[in-house]
Amino acid sequence: MTLLVRAIVRAADAERAAADGLVPVRADRIAALVSRRASTPTATEEELRAHDAITRSVHDAAPSLPSRFGDAFVDEDALAAALRAREATLAAELDRIGERVELTVTLRWRQQQPPHEPATPLSGRAFLESRAVRERERQRAEQIVARLVEHLTCERAFVRSRPCPRDGLAAIVAILSTRDAVAALREDIASFGERSSEVVAEIHGPLPPFSFVS
């Protein structure tokens, strides 16, 4: 038997949030919502989509901290011990961000950029030139993210970004928001993308705050 952790919630919310066959495993103030599995899970597309749906469902039902896929334990005692070891930190995070949601913005270059990993080996000079091109792309991406953040009506502290995470993308930006501010944020982001000559903005969410938990 394996316990696959889906999310962390306040102990008082555990029963209410434990839909879809989830089982709560409790510490004093917090609880983990887990799926009981017969065997070790594998990160297939089906499993990832199921984890995505479950974490969203839990977060819609109660304040939660979503788990990274694959956090698994052999039994309830082992999981309860791990919960107790981090209980103070996780309880504080639940208070700080548990009720908020995350919008993820994918900023996609309108014009094709050179690939990050060249298909053929490069000479020394070509390698350095390639690195310089990538560095300029990263700087442009950071400037675009800064402009996006200025354009939004949210606090800078609640934004996390990754410039140039893969070919074709300027950045992936995660924005932490209250639920009642989501609609206005989506409008701001959409208008930024429409006005930009450099990037297209794709908005995902609202999601559980995956990018803001430790």
Partner 1 sequence: MAGVPLRIVAVSELVTTEVALVDLVDRLLERGVVLAGGAMISVAGVELIELRLNIVLASADALERARERAR
Binding site for partner 1 (CB under 8 A): 2, 5, 7-8, 32, 40-45, 48-49, 51-52, 55, 65-74, 78-79, 81-83, 86, 90, 104, 106, 165-166, 172, 204, 207, 210-211, 213-214
CB of 28 to partner 1, least distance (A): 16
CB of 203 to partner 1, least distance (A): 11
Q: In a 3-state reduction of DSSP, which class is residue 114?
A: coil
Closest to partner 1 by CB, 57 vs 67, is: 67
Token pair belonging to 138: 């990263």
Whole-angstrom Cα distance, residue 187 to residue 194? 11
Closest to partner 1 by CB, 86 vs 96, is: 86
Closest to partner 1 by CB, 148 vs 169, is: 169
CB of 201 closer than 8 Å to CB of 164? no
CB of 211 to partner 1, least distance (A): 5
CB of 132 to partner 1, least distance (A): 25
CB of 23 to partner 1, least distance (A): 15
What sign for the dihedral angle of Cα 122, 113, 151, 158? negative
CB of 7 to partner 1, least distance (A): 8
Among all chains, which residue has been given the structure tokens 């908020």?
A: 100
What sign for the dihedral angle of Cα 9, 14, 7, 86? positive
Q: What CA–CA distances, in Å, run from 107 to 8, 71, 123, 164, 192? A: 30, 30, 31, 9, 10
Whole-angstrom Cα distance, residue 127 to residue 125? 5
Closest to partner 1 by CB, 86 vs 138, is: 86
Closest to partner 1 by CB, 71 vs 142, is: 71
Closest among 10, 35, 159, 144 to 87, alpha carbons compared: 10
Closest to partner 1 by CB, 74 vs 126, is: 74
